[in-house]
Amino acid sequence: MSAAAPLRIAIAGASGRMGRMLIEAVHQADDCVLAGALDVPGSPALGNDATAWLGHQSGVAITSDLRAGLANAQVLIDFTRPEGTLAHLAVCRELGIKAVIGTTGFSDEQKAQINEAAADVAIMMAPNMSVGVNVVLKLLDMAARALNEGYDIEIIEAHHRHKVDAPSGTALAMGETVAAALGRDLKACAVYGREGVTGERDPSTIGFATVRGGDIVGDHTVLFAGTGERIEITHKSSSRVTYAQGSLRAARFLASRPNGLFGMNDVLGLA
């Protein structure tokens, strides 16, 4: 019996922090092959072999030509910026290529565009691809339901100095999970940072605090502060490998799906 053909994966943001991690993960996976590598026009990486920095020639040159970069791919994995992801997705839709989206910082309108594209192609989008964070989201649902009165909820996240969006997509997902469990609307109850004479804390709010510095990969804590006790649920990433491995799991999951919008819950069987 012949082995199944490897899954052909293209990586967007090929020279970014996640792009390189993903290229390495695809290179190391027996069941996947690098089929394309995209980066922005003007990037010094354009024209380089995508795995040259790993001491290997893949035959895949990094390109800013979206159609050329996606032509041989079955799945695109995209960790770039919202406007880049949407431009890539438009070409995926045209060519029938599935997409794993890890980019964060989308507006509601941009999320609606992704939802619309999922009518035609299968898309998995999650602000955090790590198994641990997705388990934490389940724990938060349980904790919020049990601690539904008398506990103030604050979400604290810390990331490296290069991160451009705040709060992190993961912190927002944690906020949405907790708000939904409590029957609150996060848009109406979120407080993003405090300064000056703020008055006493409104118990119906969910607070967010953002720390940026150094090379912190990604720390998230949800604090339930009551009277006489506090509960902290924390996740800390020490390597981006976990995001890359989660993305490959998502790509394999999408391979047999013709269309639809999925989350990491679906990939991990936690839905």
Ligand X SMILES: O=C(O)C1=N[C@H](C(=O)O)C[C@H](O)C1
Ligand Y SMILES: NC(=O)C1=CN([C@@H]2O[C@H](COP(=O)(O)OP(=O)(O)OC[C@H]3O[C@@H](n4cnc5c(N)ncnc54)[C@H](OP(=O)(O)O)[C@@H]3O)[C@@H](O)[C@H]2O)C=CC1
Annotated binding site: 13-18, 39, 102-104, 126-129, 160, 169-170
Choosing from 88, 98, 159, 235, the catalytic residue is 159
235 catalytic? Reply is: no
Tell whether residue 81 is a contact of ligand X (CB under 6 A).
no
**x-marked contacts with ligand Y along 1-20 as a string, rule CB under 6 A:** ------------x-xxxxx-
Strand, helix or coil for residue 58: coil
Task: Out of 15, 80, 85, 104, name the contact with ligand X by CB under 6 A.
Answer: 104
**x-marked contacts with ligand Y along 83-102 as a string, rule CB under 6 A:** xx-----------------x
Strand, helix or coil for residue 206: strand
Tallying the residues shown for the chain, one arrives at 271
**x-marked contacts with ligand Y along 140-169 as a string, rule CB under 6 A:** -------------------------x---x
> What are the residues facing 223 on neighbouring strands?
154, 232
Tell whether residue 243 is a contact of ligand Y (CB under 6 A).
yes
Contact 140, 233 (CB under 8 A): yes
Tell whether residue 81 is a contact of ligand Y (CB under 6 A).
yes
Compute the distance between CA of residue 234 and CA of residue 221 in angstroms, rounded to an integer: 4
E strand residue ranges, the chain: 7-12, 32-38, 62-63, 75-78, 98-101, 122-125, 152-159, 190-192, 206-212, 218-225, 230-237, 260-262
Tell whether residue 220 is a contact of ligand Y (CB under 6 A).
no
162 catalytic? Reply is: no
